[in-house]
Amino acid sequence: MKNLLVELGDRSYPIYIGSGLLQQPELLQKHISSKQVLVVTNSTVAPLYLATVVNNLAGHTVAQVILPDGEQYKTLEQVNTIFDVLLAEKFSRNATLIALGGGVIGDMGGFAAACYQRGIAFLQIPTTLLAQVDSSVGGKTGVNHPLGKNMIGAFYQPQCVIADADVLDTLNDRELSAGLAEVIKYGLIRDLAFFEWLEANIGRLAARDKTALAYAIEQSCLNKAAIVAEDETETGVRATLNLGHTFGHAIETGMGYGTYLHGEAVAIGTCQAADLSRRKGWLSEADVARIIALFTAANLPVTPPAQLASERFVELMTVDKKNVDGKIRLILLQRIGAATLPDYVDQALLEETLNHYGR
């Protein structure tokens, strides 16, 4: 088992990475100081792992909330159903909330923990590759709004994260690929050596080689933890984690939450960001081809949906947390392994990129 520490002063917390971690009740127990524990999960994960987690909580008063599965349910209404249970069960401010699921469950469970009685303890057991490498590190919690993704939320750190590689056995191929999109992102934005390792090992990852997966999870968490430690509330370098996300969020919102998985939308968006970076003169055509080839080898889409017109893209991208006073800002690549956030986007180049796909 690897034990990484996310360094955030008095909000620091460990990420445990390894196999068989859900079979170790003491990992969970040592981070829970309350009698009352609420487990929040979804209808896909519950039949697989809920009983195991509840069994690990002997001696506690355990309640559970099973939400519907999917990004389209990442709403304030669903978070409210968590509050309903916490209040109906008379949970007090020293209670603990465990989020057992993918990124959607982690984001909603974390936001509910941040807001219930102005903050209760929170643990994460991510059950998708995407959640293990991305949403479980860094304390971003929240929900979507019909007009924009992740627009309502809080920065709120967990007590610990337990990333058990064994739970990836039950992940379907599409979800596994979606997770690889964020893994590839870490290489692109700050770690050329990891990007090259991914090019050499993408076949092993897609074939679920456990050793390769554990290494990819660890390197991803290390990269993200280093960025978050430097910039917890995204006033600077943390924004580079959003490579491909402004395009990607536009695709998710524009096509309706749930049509594309988050990682799929990010894969497409990153290819668009790479195209725009080439038009800025930063990436070569060969660089862009390498990026597209790696996403393709991870079984990810690399072309935006034809239905989404360029004008609609721009409209959707105008609502983004990186924007300043209504102006679009995008993370771009100066080279493979180095991301940047320019002060503004050349409107003409952006339109060239949006029109590049024959829409």
Catalytic choice (190, 238, 278, 329): 238
Active site (annotated) includes residue 90: no
Q: How many CB atoms lie within 10 A of CB 236?
A: 11
Q: Which helix (H) or strand (E) holds 153?
A: strand 148-155
Active site (annotated) includes residue 356: no
Do the Cβ atoms of 339 and 240 come closer than 8 Å?
Answer: yes
> What's the token pair of residue 296?
């393709």
Active site (annotated) includes residue 145: no
Residue 145 assigned as binding residue: no
Active site (annotated) includes residue 224: yes
Residue 60 assigned as binding residue: no
User: For tokens 């039950």, what's the residue?
Assistant: 170
Q: Quick one: how far is CA 311 from the chain centroid?
A: 27
Active site (annotated) includes residue 182: yes
Active site (annotated) includes residue 245: yes
**Binding region for its own copies (CB under 8 A):** 34-36, 76, 80, 83-84, 87-88, 90, 92-94, 114-119, 140, 142, 145, 147-148, 151-155, 233, 318-326
Residue 141 assigned as binding residue: no
Chain length of the chain: 359
- The residue among 47 and 59 lying less far from its own copies, judged by its C-beta, is 59
CB 61, min distance to its own copies, A: 8
Catalytic choice (242, 252, 264, 329): 242
Measured over the CA atoms of residue 232, residue 233, residue 235 and residue 238, the dihedral's sign is positive
- The residue among 38 and 46 lying less far from its own copies, judged by its C-beta, is 38
CB 153, min distance to its own copies, A: 5
Do the Cβ atoms of 162 and 122 come closer than 8 Å?
Answer: no
Residue 90 assigned as binding residue: no
Measured over the CA atoms of residue 309, residue 311, residue 312 and residue 314, the dihedral's sign is positive
Return binding residues for Zn(2+): 182, 245, 262
Q: Which residues are catalytic?
A: 118, 140, 182, 224, 234, 238, 242, 245, 249, 262
